[in-house]
Amino acid sequence: MARFVPTSRSIAYPAWGGADRTMMKSILFEIDAQIALLRQAKALLSSAGTTAIKRKPGRPSKTAAIEVPVFQKAKKRKKMSAEGRERVRQAQIKRWAAVKQAAKSTTAPLSKSKKKTAKATA
């Protein structure tokens, strides 16, 4: 975990809290580090690379340095024009008609004369 870095104030005035103040500062420092880690995890889970983290002017702090992975955006689908859709529709109608015509020709009903000859032979 993170260690407490003594400042000039904590060294110069040890009577202003002593060990209790030092311990409290180290606890607060560790809490800040955990908050930074949680923010980083939240940014990774929620943004998924679509949005950048808003930066403040000046040099970024060490705990705020969060790097979000960049994912490629899905390509936009091209839309077909109404004219193109109509051409596809007409072509499909022709295909259905051809299939229907082929089905009729293979299972054509027998004419009356063929029915009579079929009964006579049976």
> In 48-122, which residue ranges form alpha helices assigned H by DSSP?
82-106, 112-121
In the chain, % helix, strand, coil (3-state, to 5) comes to 55, 0, 45
> Domain limits of the chain?
1-69
C-alpha distance from residue 115 to each of 63, 83, 104, 105, 109 (Å): 93, 49, 18, 17, 9
Per-residue pLDDT reduced to its tens digit, 33-55: 999 999 988 888 876 655 556 67
Cα–Cα distance, 113 to 105 (Å, whole number): 18
Q: What is the pTM of this model?
A: 0.28
Least confident of 29-33, 57-61, 84-88: 57-61
